[in-house]
Structure 1
Amino acid sequence: MSSRYTYPEAAAKLRVEETWLRRHIKKLPHSKKGRVVTFSEADLDAVDSLFHYTPATGPLAPPSTASAGAHPLAHLKPLPGRSLRRA
């Protein structure tokens, strides 16, 4: 039988706060028997993949094969200024 982890054990394994697991339990894969909530290794792997973030730019970003073109936010235009009406 595979290992089952309780809230504190799963939080330690995922390196998150136990309260974070409890707050997000409805979105996370888990098993529940009565009031006892447990997480399997597959559940913890799924949680990790659901919330995994890989930066697109910066020093931690994976090397890009695309050439350095225009800035990714260059297409954005500023909003028009607000006019102040005084009565």
Structure 2
Amino acid sequence: MTRRLKYPEAAEELGVEESWLRRHIKELPHKKVGRSVYFTDADLERIDALHHREPTAGPLAARPPQPATAGAHPLANLRPLPRRGRALTSVS
């Protein structure tokens, strides 16, 4: 059976204040039945993953930054659309 944790238990499990959970409830995965809000273990794992950050530089970085590749920018071939109200003219 899946655990259903209310605000106080979920906050303790995540190591945050209950008020933080209540303030950010619209941004966090949760279940709601009527007015009762509860969190499952899967919800807590997703919340933890949402707020997990890895270092991008330094000795603890997961991988070194990639050097910039030489060559044209991937968007270099894009051209702006013609202005509104002007017909496209084709040259034959």
Counterpart of 2:8 in structure 1: which amino acid? P
Question: What is the CA-CA distance between 1:10 and the residue it aligns to?
Answer: 0.5
Q: Which structure has greater strand proportion? A: 1
**Structure with higher RCO (Cα < 8 A, 6+ apart):** 1
What is the alpha-carbon root mean square deviation over aligned residues? 2.0
Percent identity between the two aligned chains: 55
SS of the residue corresponding to residue 2 of structure 2 reads coil
C-alpha spacing 1:9/1:61, structure 2 compared with 1 (3 Å): same
Aligned length: 67
SS of the residue corresponding to residue 32 of structure 1 reads strand
Normalising to structure 2: TM-score of the pair?
Answer: 0.62
Name the residue aligned to 2:31: 31
Question: What is the CA-CA distance between 1:57 and the residue it aligns to?
Answer: 2.5
User: Could you list the runs of 5+ residues in structure 1 that have no partner in the other structure?
Assistant: 70-87
Normalising to structure 1: TM-score of the pair?
Answer: 0.66
C-alpha spacing 1:22/1:56, structure 2 compared with 1 (3 Å): same
Question: Over alpha carbons, which structure has the higher Rg?
Answer: 2
